[in-house]
Structure 1
Amino acid sequence: MIMVMPSKSAEWLQYELESVGSSLLLLDCRSHELFDSSHIETAINLAIPGLMLRRLKRGNLPIRSIIPNNEDKDKFLKRCKADTVVLYDEAISDWQENGSASSVLGLLLQKLRDDGCKAYFLEGKYNVCHFAIETM
């Protein structure tokens, strides 16, 4: 069964990033290495190791416990239900073609929405470098 998951376009994200007073919570689901090399300035890294992914799938792990540092964890807890949450990774177009909610991004998106968050995935092919980026 193909699930239609809520999404936002790269153009929409660019517009929101340039808007004053935009309330976005960006979750970068790429590996720590890719996140460290470059990421959208305000994004939180949410890479999930295999063991944690299995626990998350079983429902034994809240998303906040995956966030590596306390500052980002606090930001997530304060903003996840009030702001628009946008998830992205490097393989979004593969996920869209399969339409699978069993992917990491699909699982995170579904859990966030189940928790009452306004969560979306970033659709289409995009390049983090097109957005306001921060490099470490």
Structure 2
Amino acid sequence: MVTETKVELVWNPINQPQDGFVADKGSRSIFSGAFGAGKTIALCAKGLKLSLDYPKNYGLICRKVRATLGQTTLKTFLELVCPRELIANYNKSEGLITLTNGSQILFGGLDDPLKLGSMGAGGIGFVAIDEAI
């Protein structure tokens, strides 16, 4: 069931490149920079924005190694970007967050290409890669 939830988003851009990346409506976006430039938080904010703008969207946010997600990208998403009121369900073992508007975000690693390949291309609204190298 899709629920309309009104909350104030907690993330605010710290610089213009971050703001531009999150606001960009192009089909492909890249945000690179030095350590501390805010790449991870901007990536999480963009994933949340796409998930809120397009109800029932399905997105993938991944990192080079899945084992590092919990203390990095996923932690940033849960603690600094996504208000708890927007999360309808969080399946920790699968790394799948379902939002109140029906959108889902899967957090995974690039270290399991068979799992990623089995998802297929149909139905995926966005893919975001954090620390791919």
Scaled by the length of structure 2, the TM-score of the pair is 0.32
The structure with the largest helix share of the pair is 1
Scaled by the length of structure 1, the TM-score of the pair is 0.31
Higher relative contact order (CA 8 A, sep 6+): 1
